Amino acid sequence: MDTDQLIRTLAADNTYHARPVGLVLALALLAAAPVSLALFFAMLGVRPDVSSAMRNPFFDLKFVVTLALAFSAIAVSLHLSRPEALLRGWSLLLLIPVGILVAGIGGEMMLPQRLPMLTRLVGSNSRICMGAIPLISLPLLVAALVGLRHGAPTRPAVTGAIAGLLSSGLAATLYAAHCTDDSPLFVATWYSLATAFVTAMGALAGRTVLRY
């Protein structure tokens, strides 16, 4: 087939209009959310003392951190879904959840604590945390990759990694409602490890799935 013929064929296909990447990503995540919610409620459920826990600012801080991670990752991934996009300043967005978490650790340090630092860091749920966050994030990661596949990322592995951050941020938001370890030190250690694992999975999958 010569190139003129191909061009004519492409022009004939101009009636087909693809939806914007943001919309496809949102729809995919919405479709996956019930699966992740079902996994969460089947395995874990909300912690029993949730109404009193909500008065603990460190309990609430977990949600601020995880949602900040999810939303900054959504913004960065949508940016990276365009072929000419460079990461540059956009990666600074991902420092927002880190900054909030560091501020939280600082805040906790200044308050008198009943438990020693290491006990708070190790916590009592680290195993469940490390298992639950990747598991709950799995449907969301698949959805994020499906949504971003609709784009044209120049760096598929990086974009896949951001999809991992995005899905683990959302999954960690769910998990935080179950977890009784509210110390920012616990969050910084175990949530980060779980997130790093999901991010690595996202990068690996992205390398092949997100090529266009």
Does residue 36 interact with another protein by CB under 8 A?
no
Q: Among residues 83 and 107, whose Cβ is nearest to another protein?
A: 83
* Chosen residue from 8, 41, 56, 106 binding another protein by CB under 8 A: 8
127 binds another protein (CB under 8 A): no
Which region among 9-17, 67-75, 126-134, 137-145 touches another protein (by CB under 8 A)?
9-17
- Least distance from another protein to the Cβ atom of residue 154, Å: 6
169 lines the binding site for another protein (CB under 8 A): no
Comparing CB distances to another protein, the nearer of 19 and 55 is: 19
Tokens of 117: 């630092």
Closer residue to another protein, CB minimum distance, 5 or 51: 5
Q: Specify the residue, 15 or 52, whose C-beta has the smaller distance to another protein.
A: 15
Told to check if 46 binds another protein by CB under 8 A, we report no
Closest to 79 measured CA to CA, from 158, 164, 170: 158
Contacts for 115-123: CB closer than 8 Å, 24+ residues apart? 117/185, 120/181, 120/183, 120/185, 120/186, 121/183, 121/185, 121/186, 121/189, 122/186, 123/181, 123/183, 123/186, 123/190
The DSSP line for 120-177 is: HHH-S-HHHHHHHHHHHHHHHHHHHHHHHHTS--S-HHHHHHHHHHHHHHHHHHHHHT
Q: Which of 154, 193, 207, 209 binds another protein (CB under 8 A)?
A: 154
22 CB contacts (<8 Å, ≥6 apart)?
A: 78
Q: Look at residue 30 and give its three-state secondary structure.
A: helix
Residue positions counted in the chain: 212
Asked if 119 touches another protein (CB under 8 A), the answer is: no
Site for another protein in 78-107 (CB under 8 A): 81-84
Annotate 42-77 with three-state secondary structure: HHCCCCCCHHHHCCCHHHHHHHHHHHHHHHHHHHHH
Q: Which is nearer to another protein, 3 or 52 (CB)?
A: 3
Q: Which is nearer to another protein, 62 or 79 (CB)?
A: 79
**Cβ of residue 8: shortest distance to another protein, in angstroms?**
6
Residue ranges in contact with another protein by CB under 8 A: 1-21, 81-84, 151-152, 154, 211-212
